């Protein structure tokens, strides 16, 4: 008999997040845990073949090969809509323009 471990699968949108706790067989991959969680039934926009995944904020290169340990949380990441560097640069330029307008 194969031992079971408890893991979580998480997905977040700007306005909500979902964390699903489940038991999987020891040796289960991150990808298989996502499939078993059924989270795609809740969020059909998730593309488990292409969306990046990670464990507690650290990206994993190949979710199909990454073997989970007990109590780990698989996170499914949404694609970035904007480049964070560009957003920061625009915000800094706007702040500078506002400062100059006040003088």
Count up the domains in the chain and report the number.
Answer: 1
Domain at 56, CATH number? 3.10.20.30
pLDDT number for residue 9: 98
Residue 73 Cα distances to 27, 85, 97, angstroms: 15, 28, 43
Q: Model's pTM, two decimal places?
A: 0.77
What is the residue-level pLDDT of the chain in tens, covering all 103 positions? Answer: 679 999 999 999 989 999 999 999 999 999 999 999 999 999 999 999 999 999 999 999 999 999 999 999 999 998 766 667 777 888 888 888 888 888 6
Whole-number pLDDT of residue 32: 98
Q: Which two tokens stand for residue 52?
A: 């990046």
Residue 40's pLDDT is: 97
Give the domain range for residue 57: 4-102
Instruction: Please give the sequence-ordered ranges of beta strands (E in DSSP) within 1-103, or none if there are none.
Output: 4-13, 16-25, 53-55, 58-60, 73-76
């Amino acid at each position: 008999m194969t031992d079971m471990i408890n893991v979580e699968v998480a997905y977040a949108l700007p306005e909500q997040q979902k964390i699903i706790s489940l038991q999987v067989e020891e040796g289960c991959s991150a990808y298989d845990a996502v499939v078993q969680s059924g989270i795609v039934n809740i969020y059909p926009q998730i593309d488990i073949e292409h969306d990046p995944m990670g464990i507690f904020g650290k990206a994993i290169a190949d979710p199909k090969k990454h073997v989970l340990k007990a109590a780990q949380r698989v996170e499914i990441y949404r694609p970035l809509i904007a480049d964070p560097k560009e957003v920061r640069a625009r915000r800094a330029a706007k702040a500078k323009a506002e400062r100059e307008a006040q003088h």
